[in-house]
Amino acid sequence: MNVLIVGGGEIGTQITEALHRTHNVTVMDNDPEREKSLEIFDIHFIRGNGADPEDLRNAGAAKTDAFIAVTTNDDINVLACLAAKGLGAKETMAFVTRQRYMDAFSEQGAMQSIGLVIDRVLWPQRTLANQIVDIVRVPRALDSTFFANRRIKLVEYKLEEGDPFVGKPLAEINLPKSILVAGSIRGDSFVIPSGKTVLCPDDKVVFIGTTQSIRNLEAQFAPKKRVQNVVIIGGGNVGFMVAEQLQHDRVNLTVIEQKEERCNKLAEILPRALILQGDGSDLELLEQERIEDADVLVTVTDDDGKNLLVSLLAKNLGIPKIITRVGRTRNRTLFERVGIDISLTPRAAAVQEVLNWLHLDEVDHLASIENRAEVMEVIYPYQCETGMLQNLGAPPNSLIGAILRKDKVLIPHGDTTIQHGDHLYIVTTPDNVSAVENWLSRQKTAA
């Protein structure tokens, strides 16, 4: 596949890293420093302006299978995609930071109505906001993700003393029907469990199952039903989008924003939220407003340093769930080292969406679990041998957590029969992805 990426910043670099070994990648950027930083990859770098048709023509946009514009300038990204499409690029994707572009290029949008088409417009901040909302809505959950049009759900908990399932081998535990333990994180290691695995306090445990069954599991971890107190630090785009969705839930919602003008606007469009003007990193303010009574604190300012400080203050105040935005992916490890359990970056989620959009092979890489494991969706090929799961020799360090067969979701066991066309949801570690792909190849050979 020929891929042309306009923008060699952090997102462009991450996409390049994921693709350069198996695809022809060209990166265009005007910054010579970006060229130096990308020398470690087997790619072609060209200096140029993505909004200049002549530069795009020289970069080979006409023969591009996938054109991705990821600069920090919305206008350049949009113009670049439109120009590339006009030159002959097969598929185009533009990264944006404003709602108006999402609306303009939607199916019924103004641009579509006059024949200006971008195949995919991606707003990473919205992806992050949706991810935060899903986590907030599940008490105690560190992560919560849906698959298969919300028919399959994955949820992650950090176990405590007295929690269900602690201290016994999995083989002796009665999990709710249609649920599997898909993995556990202890320290820095992700473990695919067996029947002998014993879950301990402080383990982060990943469950997968049907959405209804996961609701039953969530009830075992959730405190008695009551209104949640949710505090959001930062009233920018992400903070607003989170608050907008949560204000209709059964929550007491508080938003703390430093800029007066922004506070006034938020007060108008979020009538069910309490809007406070102030510095979210001001301990005196946090104590005055009794932030320690919060069940969830979400800190989503544009400053990683402030987000970290607020998170540490919240942790010191004993707030049970703290969700922190990390602008730079490399900072996420630091947040984890100082004990912040839920640190999310819009860039990581966006890169994952790009890889899924490309449909590079028979495998869709749906989600990352704390960068230690991932969930893959595989359509079981018609060339492969069918049979019971336990007889198909699935690769080690992987687990088929769910199967979508037409409109039916199955949570498999060893005697479950795999059929052609089944959508398999596989949990594995990043270094084991190739083993899963090789397993599929062997099944084709055996058939």
415 CB contacts (<8 Å, ≥6 apart)? 388, 389, 390
210 and 446 Cβ atoms separated by less than 8 Å: no
pLDDT at 447 over 60: no
What pLDDT score does 250 carry?
Answer: 87
pLDDT tens, 16-67? 988 888 889 999 999 989 999 999 999 999 999 999 999 999 999 999 999 9
pLDDT band for position 224 (cuts 50, 70, 90): low
**Percent of the chain scoring above 70 in pLDDT:** 97
CA atoms within 13 A on the CB side of 43: 29
What pLDDT score does 363 carry?
Answer: 65
CA–CA gap between residue 104 and residue 392 (Å, rounded)? 48
Compute the CA torsion angle 242, 248, 250, 254 (nearest 10 deg). Answer: 50
98 CB contacts (<8 Å, ≥6 apart)? 74, 123
Which strands sit side by side in the sheet containing 179-186, from one edge to the other? 141-147, 152-158, 204-210, 179-186, 189-191
What pLDDT score does 164 carry?
Answer: 82
CA–CA gap between residue 366 and residue 56 (Å, rounded)? 31
44 and 60 Cβ atoms separated by less than 8 Å: no
pLDDT at 392 over 80: yes
End-to-end CA distance of the chain: 28
What pLDDT score does 361 carry?
Answer: 54
pLDDT band for position 107 (cuts 50, 70, 90): confident
- What average pLDDT does range 66-84 have in this prediction? 96
* CA distances to 285, 315, 381 from 395, in Å: 53, 40, 17
Q: Cβ–Cβ contacts within 10 Å for residue 117, how many?
A: 12
CA–CA gap between residue 246 and residue 167 (Å, rounded)? 36
- Which domains are delineated in the chain? 2-122 (3.40.50.720), 147-221 (3.30.70.1450), 228-348 (3.40.50.720), 358-446 (3.30.70.1450)
When the pLDDT of each residue in the chain is averaged and rounded to a whole number, the result is 89
- What average pLDDT does range 109-120 have in this prediction? 88
pLDDT tens, 333-383? 888 888 888 998 887 778 878 877 886 555 676 788 887 888 988 888 888
425 and 400 Cβ atoms separated by less than 8 Å: yes
| Sign, Cα dihedral of 176, 177, 179, 184 | positive
What pLDDT score does 235 carry?
Answer: 95
pLDDT band for position 225 (cuts 50, 70, 90): low
155 and 135 Cβ atoms separated by less than 8 Å: no
pLDDT band for position 12 (cuts 50, 70, 90): very high
- What average pLDDT does range 134-146 have in this prediction? 90
CA–CA gap between residue 390 and residue 416 (Å, rounded)? 8
What pLDDT score does 241 carry?
Answer: 95
Please give the residue that has the higher pLDDT: either 363 or 318. 318
pLDDT at 426 over 90: yes
CA–CA gap between residue 404 and residue 148 (Å, rounded)? 8
Q: Are strands 44-46 and 24-28 parallel, antiparallel or unpaired?
A: parallel
67 and 4 Cβ atoms separated by less than 8 Å: yes
* 230 DSSP β-pair partners: 253, 296
CA–CA gap between residue 223 and residue 278 (Å, rounded)? 31
* Diameter over CA atoms, the chain: 68
In 338-405, alpha helices (H):
346-358
pLDDT at 112 over 90: no
294 CB contacts (<8 Å, ≥6 apart)? 229, 230, 231, 254, 314, 319
